[in-house]
Structure 1
Amino acid sequence: MTSPVRFGILGCAAIARRRVLPAMAADPGIEIAAIASRSPATAADTAARFGGRPVTGYEAVLDDPAVEAVYVPLPLALHAEWVEAALLTGRHVLAEKPLTRDPERTRALLALAERRAVVLRENVMFVHHPQHARVRRLVEEGAVGRLRAFHASFTIPAPAPGDIRYDAALCGGSLWDVGLYPVRAAVHLLGDDLRLVGAHLSTPAGGGVDIGGAALLRRGDGVSAQLTFGMDHAYRGAYELWGSEGRITVDRAFTPPADHSPRIVLDDASGTREIRLPAHDQVAATLADFCASVRRRRAGLPDDADHRELLAQARLLAAVHRAGRAGGDLTRPRRNAP
């Protein structure tokens, strides 16, 4: 019998406690070996709920010989440092999104993982949901005719005051937190041949991080992608693909609960048709994919991941950030690091 993948957890963020750790604890192919926090009480409380040895400080996880893989749900500002530290110790890494804010740093970390013969993944879970593969097949089969445009939005209500997403020092802001989803959806469904046409980031009058924004992308053949995101909005997580002969709509596209039965709506000249799919746990599917790659590496096999989507996403997010800070003008010189 294959031994479980032994995880060390670097941090007890809400996404870890709410979604990832419950899925890990329920998976017989995963063992939570250690859970770290800067707070001993937080580490102890989280370990009591999900298992593993509570430890204080992230270095202790990387010093633990029982840890084979590391999950990094730390704030974005800390991703590159701790992902690199884990890779250098020979650990496989699943890191929260985005991996970094700098496309070249992302590329360098992927290259380091390859040199160390370990797995590195960014925890973008919705791409593991089969509803999007079904949408791609519909488009390829000509269900909407010639594809013309893609519209996607992901907006959430304002986080509570003091939330780290309002902290510029920790790389907060709506683009990195929720804007990633429509950007990745565009890449996932349209391919990596996308360029930024223009972007806008909305920042409160008193300064701080962006709380919303929009971007316009264009594929080489002229297909456009209009993206909206924000964290001071009514909830919306959906996309549409418009073609010459029809339209496909997917609601609850990015964070569906495990028991949600997806509904793809196809509108064309003959009317409206609904395609219902079985419920699917995209969190469990993401972990299963990661662990399967770890087991390939155990067997001395190469990691078969294609990182083109991740790299295209990183490039586009940085471009949106740069253009948004420049007021949407892509001709202004770049100032400061992304």
Structure 2
Amino acid sequence: MRPLRIGLMGCADIARRRVLPAIAAAPDAELVAVAGRDAARAADTARRFGGRPVHGYEALLELADVEAIYVPLPPALHARWVEAALRAGRPVLAEKPLTTSAAETGRLLALAAERGLVLMENVMFVHHGQHAVVQKLVAEGRIGEPRSFHAAFAIPRRPDGDIRHRADLGGGALWDTGLYPVRAALHLLGPDLTVAGATAERGPGREVDTWGTALLRSSGGVAAHLTFGLDNAYTSGYALWGSEGKIIVDRAFTPPADHRPALLLERPSGTEELVLEPDDQVARTVAAFVAAVRNGSLAPGAADCLRQAELLDDIRTTRGVSCPR
């Protein structure tokens, strides 16, 4: 079967650094067109990763040889252009967050389902094999009954001109980095989580939240303590505490393809290090999208995508959170 022909809508850094190299290396995917606001950047992206530059996002959707669309635009632009792609009959892989509200996310997922099209949010870490190992350890009772979950994803201070600082483009720490620990809690604890509390802070001169925390609670009483930030020492990991032990995962959210995960399983009898084989979560994500399109199946993680959006809405609107709408 020939590769899935993909059109790029926007030449964002995440696309050029991670996703486009994975598409270029995938045997079942091919970049055939690149649309960007900056003609020179679009031409350079096409030269590096394949395809041809196209002037304007509308023009990309008119190309007959483009079968699917990858959308790495700023979050505030997702709803408009994801909808346009779906109405043009194209399945879509969209960068996270899919939109900046649960209502918009639900509407687009419903539109995709109505039209029989794949709409997949690009949360790549859930495709990494290390998290399946954690789920297996928990299911086997290796830590007893889960009691609490602690997750953090934060990055050092971004330059002043970074789009993450712009409210009109959907910036802010919650949507950029907070999404990861929220999704990890959903992935490991299940969908019946509610927001028990949250805080967010803005750095001097910022118009969006710069760092924050959230406390979620499952119906069974398991608490999820989440930390996120755009102005923090780098951290990317989680720990799941149980009645009889603890699992610690470092480099949980953005491990490079050659990283060998080393999970720590702490029990009263001692600590065991479980060293796993490297796994390429970006390649796995591209493969999952292509497979869903080819098989005519629902996009992986659609239900979690919507529940995640609902929780992010609740965190944002919880008293004390200063994230912009």
Does structure 2 retain, via aligned residues, the 8 Å contact 1:175–1:213?
yes
The equivalent residue for 1:248 is 247
Structure 1 residue ranges (4+ consecutive) displaced by more than 6 angstroms after TM superposition: none
What letter corresponds to residue 98 of structure 1 in structure 2?
P
Instruction: Describe the SS at the equivalent of 1:289.
Output: helix
Q: Kindly indicate whether residue 305 of structure 2 is the aligned counterpart of residue 310 of structure 1.
A: yes
Q: Please state if 1:186 is matched with 2:179.
A: no
- Give the aligned length: 325
Q: Which runs of 5+ in 1 are unaligned?
A: 330-335
Assess, with a 3 A threshold, how the Cα gap between structure 1 residues 268 and 176 changes in structure 2: closer, same or farther: same
**Paired amino acid for 2:27:** P
RMSD between aligned alpha carbons?
A: 1.4
Unaligned 5+ runs, structure 2: none
Residues 52-201 of structure 1: matches in 2 within 5 Å?
A: 52-201=51-200
Structure 1 counterpart of 2:278:
279
Displacement, 1:288? 0.3
Q: Deviations over 1:236-268 (max 9, x none)?
A: 000000011111000000000000001110001
The one-letter code matched in structure 2 to 1:150 is F
Tell me the SS of whatever aligns to 2:137.
helix
The Cα shift of 1:207 comes to 4.5
Larger deviation: 309-318 or 193-202? 309-318
**Structure 1 equivalent of residue 316 of structure 2:** 321
- Counterpart code for 2:81: W
Per the TM alignment, residue 171 of structure 1 is displaced from its structure 2 partner at its CA by 1.1
1:187-230 alpha-carbon deviations (Å, 9 max, x no partner): 00000000000000011244511110000000001000000000
Name the CA distance, whole Å, in 2 between partners of 1:125 and 1:95.
11
**Secondary structure of the equivalent of 2:277?**
coil
For 2:306 and 2:179, the matched residues in 1 are separated by: 12
What letter corresponds to residue 8 of structure 1 in structure 2? G
CA distance in 2, matches of 1:270, 1:259: 31
CA distance in 2, matches of 1:149, 1:53: 49
Q: Write the letter of the residue equivalent to 1:218.
A: R
What amino acid maps onto 1:262 in structure 2?
A: P
Residue identity (%) = 58
Post-superposition offset of 1:328: 5.0
Displacement of 1:28:
1.8
Q: How does 1:1-20 map to 2 (within 5 A)?
A: 2-20=1-19
Looking at structure 1, the residues matched to 300 and 243 of structure 2 have their Cα atoms a distance apart, in angstroms, of: 34
| Match status 1:210 vs 2:209 | yes
Q: TM-score, normalised by structure 2?
A: 0.97
- Give 1:225-264 correspondences, 5 Å limit: 225-264=224-263
Deviation track 1:113-159 (CA, whole Å, cap 9, x = no partner) reads 11111110000000000100110110111111111000000010111
Residue aligning to 2:292: 293
Q: TM-score, normalised by structure 1?
A: 0.94
Q: Letter of the aligned partner of 2:150 in structure 1?
A: H
Q: Secondary structure at the match of 2:149?
A: strand
SS of equivalent to 2:106 = helix
**AA of the residue aligned to 1:322:** T
Shift of 1:56: 1.7
Q: Is the 8 A contact 1:38 1:57 kept in 2?
A: yes
Counterpart of 2:240 in structure 1: which amino acid? L
Q: Secondary structure at the match of 1:161?
A: coil
Q: Give, as a single letter, the amino acid of the residue that structure 2 aligns with 1:202.
A: E
Contact 2:152 2:226 in 1 (8 A): yes
- Structure 2 CA distance for partners of 1:15 and 1:328, relative to 1, 3 Å: closer
Distance change >3 Å, CA 98–CA 86, structure 1 → 2: same
The one-letter amino acid of 1:219's match is S
Answer yes or no: is the 8 Å Cα contact 1:198–1:328 preserved in 2. no
- Letter of the 2:106 partner, please give it: R
Tell me how far 1:306 sits from its aligned partner: 5.2
For the residue of structure 2 that corresponds to 1:19, the secondary structure is helix
Quote how far apart the aligned CAs of 1:32 are: 0.7
Aligned to 1:333: none
